Chain A
Amino acid sequence: MSNHLKNITLRIWRQAGPAAKGNFETHVVDEITDEASFLEMLDILNDKLVTEGKEAVVFDHDCREGICGTCSLMIDGQAHGPQRGTATCQLHMRQFKSNDTITIEPWRASAFPIIKDLMVDRSAFDRIIESGGYITADTGGAPDANLIPIPKVIADAAMDSAECIGCGACVAACPNGAANLFTGAKIAHLSRLPQGQAERYSRVESMVETMDDHFGSCTSHGECEAACPKEISIDVIALMNKDFRKAKFANRKDLARK
């Protein structure tokens, strides 16, 4: 049965544009059912703001099921809020109590510039994928899907890292703003599969280099793993680093032969 929370104070980051100076704005939610999701609470607040003639708080969201990776809020200093393995949109008000004060901020990372209020630009992630986060297989001409059996454990392990939703919480949580968990997850997905072997080393080289162009460097804090809504294991970073070293070595050998 549902309960009602009373008197929730929200401190929300407002920022008019990328170059504008931002500040916290305070709003009080008098009453809300604990069945409501966190974002539904913001919907209700926004509806009220618009009716009062004020501008709604801008925030990114879409699927509201924890799968699209669009939602992206720093809640009380934690990426996606207090519940482990949970994206912002899956957070329900049951996680909070009456009279709580909740601070809501955007992802803060130099690679993710703020667009407005709580919305940031994460296109640097797309640049990493564009540089090699794929298996080259033009449409048509693929062999029968069952031609290459893949042991279940391998397929499952690939799936574990393929589950990354590209939300950027790992970057936001990292003191250095590094994207190693995101990049490592894609590399681990593709490099574990037989289909991904042909490009294994060229892929890791170009993805890591693109990552380094945009993001900070990893110093193994491990905050990323704790913040990740899909609980991607930090092991993927080790795998990426190992492959990257091999790639550098292999490519030197190739060059020497020429």
Chain B
Amino acid sequence: MTLTDELFAKNTVKLDSKIPDGPVADKWDNYKENMKLVNPNNKRKFKVIVVGTGLAGASAAATLAELGYQVDAFTFHDSARRAHSIAAQGGINGAKNYKGDGDSVHRLFYDTVKGGDFRAREANVHRLAQVSVDIIDQMVAQGVPFAREYGGLLDNRSFGGAQVSRTFYARGQTGQQLLLGAYQQFSRQVGLGGISLYNRSELIDIVVIDGRASGIVVRDLVTGEITSHAAHAVVLATGGYGNAFFLSTNAMACNVTAAWRAHRKGALFANPCYTQIHPTCIPQSDDSQSKLTLMSESLRNDGRVWVPVNPNETRPAHEVPEEERDYYLERLYPSFGNLAPRDISSRAAKRAVDKGQGVGPKKNGVYLDFSEAIERLGHDVVQERYGNLFEMYERIAGENPYETPMRIYPASHYTMGGLWVDYELQTNIPGLYAAGEANFSDHGANRLGASALMQGLADGYFVLPYTIGNGLAPLLNKPMPGIDHPEFKAAEDAARNRYNAYLAINGTKSPDYFHRELGKIIWDYCGMERTEEGLKKALELLPALYQEFKTDLRVTGSGDDMNQTLEKAGRVDDFFQLGMLMCRDALDRKESCGGHFRAEYQTDEGEALRDDVNYCHVAAWQWGGDPMTPNLNVEPLEFEAVHLATRSYK
């Protein structure tokens, strides 16, 4: 099959981003002034399903329940406390300007738009920057033990892509502490009866009736039972799809199923090719490895990145003299240095390793060196700042970073793409919302550090509770379809058939085998650097492997009890279909921007070369009945408050 542009239909859906009127700084206030409200006594007449209990889901569910809505919350985890958000290390941004270093809502807004390489919607990003300050207040009120200075005030650090210190942190466990804060608030509502919690329950389909999201179909992972749940609105806060690469820093269970099933029911999937490869992960040590570990970007505050100038260098790091080291980030990007944004730092590391300058037994890493920081600050200060990260590194790599520089290399970490949502975080299916990493909204083509936690909590605490009310108000006292509606029955049957089919194939290879092979293809051809040729190749390899999956998969056990192999089969199936869309999107976007780097489109210095004339838009894909034939919809991006500029961190 040849792959040409004509394969997909264009602009099949009318996209309305519903951006409010007024200057960008006033839009959110204007929205809130004009939105419809649901009277407090009427809120309990509405049921809202929240899928996912990470930062976005737990904060949304807790707040909606506090307001009086009936909330049903679902998670495939055993407890709401365990979502992947728990693993975030470095911190959360907030435009508090506590350091008096010139931070402001406008600066955070600008940094985020620029960091995203001018591929995000201005109005959403501005709102995010505005509510960032409320998040910090809210989390402190809940008892999140953020780091403090001796005077008792909150401490800050700086993160990649910013020249101010606006990142709040709790040792190297910021995600844990924020999630526990949200989980505790969520648990309070469970105790009070405002939230009904369904744990170890996986969403496996969405039900759309007369064009509106009416509920979900869920599989109880303990009993295998498949049931339906109806509601007035459904929120997907189900995280990102970074595990499409198999090896990533995401938790093992992260998957795209919820978003993908919504996509197959009509929700558009936006910018799937925008994936973030994080520059500071521990390099792969052997082929049987199942997961990669992130070393927080905050380490780049004090660590210096370098490689030996000589590709044949064999001496241990400390014996390599200064003049034979290439501190390439400091050299190439003097004003940001080691704090250059993630996409830029990752590609620079790849270039060094590709040139043969890599370090470590597999020559697959670069050094992150703390010796200068230890000299300048002393061992104790370095330990205070990074002690637990150093310990984690030593446990995994078997080397002590106080003595030997860390070895790091980029790995799949975060996905900027996701379900298309409008300003209200509603997908193109009325009644279906997406929040947190599951949506595409705020980070454009590249996310800045410490901004995902901010976005998840912004969506859950300060955006959805308003916009859902605006959507529900007109539905008061109108009849809604219940789970006895034939559409629910049909979706349940289809889901049952799907899982029975995996069990029936009885082939020879495990779901993990296919996941690993699928991940390799996506990493090789749709990873840090993409080319037309490579993407076309991937679009031949993927359907072939998918065919093998459908005929040679082996799932043992039954569908009637806890069966992790069966769970995995369903998730890998959806990753296959998504993988094809990622490559298709990357092929169609003939420019480089942020995390999407097409080798054909680069400057003489090897930096991303955007094409604002043809690609200053969101690519929102519609399911076309087969993963290889999606339909493209385009939402043009308009910039009023910031000028489209070439990103420079020099």
Interface residue tally for chain B (C-beta within 8 Å): 83
Report if A136 contacts B (CB, 8 A).
Answer: yes
> How far is B140's CA from A133's CA once the two chains are assembled, in angstroms?
16
> How far is B140's CA from A193's CA once the two chains are assembled, in angstroms?
10
Instruction: Name the distance in Å between A222's Cβ and chain B's nearest Cβ.
Output: 24
A155 with B147: CB separation less than 8 A: yes
A55 with B143: CB separation less than 8 A: no
Chain A residues lying within 8 Å of B62, measured Cβ to Cβ, are 139
A119 with B562: CB separation less than 8 A: yes
B137 with A145: CB separation less than 8 A: yes
Chain B residues lying within 8 Å of A2, measured Cβ to Cβ, are 285-286, 361
Interface residues of B in 118-141 (CB under 8 A from A): 134, 136-141
Report if B312 contacts A (CB, 8 A).
Answer: no
B148 with A150: CB separation less than 8 A: yes
Q: A43-B512, A155-B147 are in contact. Are A70 and B138 (CB under 8 A)?
A: no
> How far is B392's CA from A195's CA once the two chains are assembled, in angstroms?
31
Report if A138 contacts B (CB, 8 A).
Answer: yes
B286 with A33: CB separation less than 8 A: yes
> How far is B293's CA from A145's CA once the two chains are assembled, in angstroms?
32
Chain A residues lying within 8 Å of B66, measured Cβ to Cβ, are 138-139
> How far is B151's CA from A155's CA once the two chains are assembled, in angstroms?
11
Interface residues of B in 407-443 (CB under 8 A from A): none
Instruction: Name the distance in Å between A97's Cβ and chain B's nearest Cβ.
Output: 16
A193 with B152: CB separation less than 8 A: no
> How far is B555's CA from A149's CA once the two chains are assembled, in angstroms?
56
Give which listed residue, A66, A130, A159, A166, contacts B171 with CB less than 8 A: A159
A33 with B143: CB separation less than 8 A: no
Instruction: Name the distance in Å between B35's Cβ and chain A's nearest Cβ.
Output: 15
A56 with B176: CB separation less than 8 A: no
Chain B residues lying within 8 Å of A149, measured Cβ to Cβ, are 148, 151-153
Closest chain B residue to A120, Cβ basis: B78
A135 with B184: CB separation less than 8 A: yes
A55 with B251: CB separation less than 8 A: no
Instruction: Name the distance in Å between A153's Cβ and chain B's nearest Cβ.
Output: 9
Q: List 28 A-B contacts (CB under 8 A).
A: A2-B361, A40-B290, A43-B288, A43-B512, A46-B510, A50-B555, A51-B508, A55-B565, A62-B82, A62-B251, A63-B252, A65-B392, A67-B87, A121-B78, A122-B78, A129-B183, A130-B191, A133-B187, A134-B187, A137-B141, A145-B96, A151-B148, A152-B149, A155-B145, A156-B145, A162-B145, A193-B143, A196-B143
Report if B12 contacts A (CB, 8 A).
Answer: no
Q: A115-B562, A142-B140 are in contact. Are A136 and B188 (CB under 8 A)?
A: yes
A58 with B562: CB separation less than 8 A: yes
Chain B residues lying within 8 Å of A139, measured Cβ to Cβ, are 59, 62-63, 66, 138, 185, 461-462, 465
Given contacts A90-B392, A129-B81, A143-B141, 13 further A-B contacts (CB under 8 A): A33-B288, A47-B510, A50-B512, A51-B509, A64-B291, A67-B173, A126-B197, A126-B199, A135-B141, A143-B137, A146-B96, A155-B146, A155-B147
Closest chain B residue to A138, Cβ basis: B66
Interface flags for B268-291 (1: CB within 8 Å of A; 0: not) read: 000000000000000001101111
Chain A residues lying within 8 Å of B96, measured Cβ to Cβ, are 145-146
Chain B residues lying within 8 Å of A68, measured Cβ to Cβ, are 82, 84, 86-87, 251
B188 with A50: CB separation less than 8 A: no
Give which listed residue, A130, A140, A142, contacts B188 with CB less than 8 A: A130
> How far is B142's CA from A135's CA once the two chains are assembled, in angstroms?
5
> How far is B564's CA from A158's CA once the two chains are assembled, in angstroms?
37
Report if B180 contacts A (CB, 8 A).
Answer: yes
Interface flags for A40-59 (1: CB within 8 Å of B; 0: not) read: 10011011011101111010
A125 with B79: CB separation less than 8 A: yes
Q: Which residues of B contact A (CB under 8 A)?
A: 59, 62-63, 66, 77-82, 84, 86-87, 96, 98, 134, 136-143, 145-154, 170-171, 173, 175-177, 180, 183-185, 187-188, 190-191, 197, 199, 222, 251-253, 285-286, 288-291, 293, 361, 392, 395-396, 398, 461-462, 465, 508-510, 512-513, 554-557, 561-565
> How far is B82's CA from A69's CA once the two chains are assembled, in angstroms?
7
> How far is B142's CA from A158's CA once the two chains are assembled, in angstroms?
13
Give which listed residue, B143, B170, B253, B392, contacts A62 with CB less than 8 A: B253
> How far is B561's CA from A119's CA once the two chains are assembled, in angstroms?
13
> How far is B253's CA from A145's CA once the two chains are assembled, in angstroms?
34
Chain A residues lying within 8 Å of B171, measured Cβ to Cβ, are 159, 163
Chain A residues lying within 8 Å of B563, measured Cβ to Cβ, are 55, 58
Give which listed residue, B154, B252, B462, contacts A145 with CB less than 8 A: B154
Instruction: Name the distance in Å between A44's Cβ and chain B's nearest Cβ.
Output: 6
Report if A214 contacts B (CB, 8 A).
Answer: no
A64 with B290: CB separation less than 8 A: yes
> How far is B285's CA from A64's CA once the two chains are assembled, in angstroms?
15
Chain A residues lying within 8 Å of B398, measured Cβ to Cβ, are 35, 92, 94
Instruction: Name the distance in Å between A52's Cβ and chain B's nearest Cβ.
Output: 9
> How far is B396's CA from A205's CA once the two chains are assembled, in angstroms?
41
Closest chain B residue to A119, Cβ basis: B562
Give which listed residue, A70, A131, A133, contacts B82 with CB less than 8 A: A70
Instruction: Name the distance in Å between A34's Cβ and chain B's nearest Cβ.
Output: 9
Q: A61-B252, A62-B251, A166-B81 are in contact. Are A53 and B556 (CB under 8 A)?
A: yes
A50 with B554: CB separation less than 8 A: yes
Report if A255 contacts B (CB, 8 A).
Answer: no
A145 with B140: CB separation less than 8 A: yes
Chain B residues lying within 8 Å of A137, measured Cβ to Cβ, are 138, 141-142, 185
B79 with A193: CB separation less than 8 A: no
B78 with A90: CB separation less than 8 A: no
Closest chain A residue to B384, Cβ basis: A156
Give which listed residue, B59, B140, B147, contacts A195 with CB less than 8 A: B140
Chain A residues lying within 8 Å of B176, measured Cβ to Cβ, are 67, 163, 165
Q: A58-B562, A64-B251 are in contact. Are A47 and B512 (CB under 8 A)?
A: yes
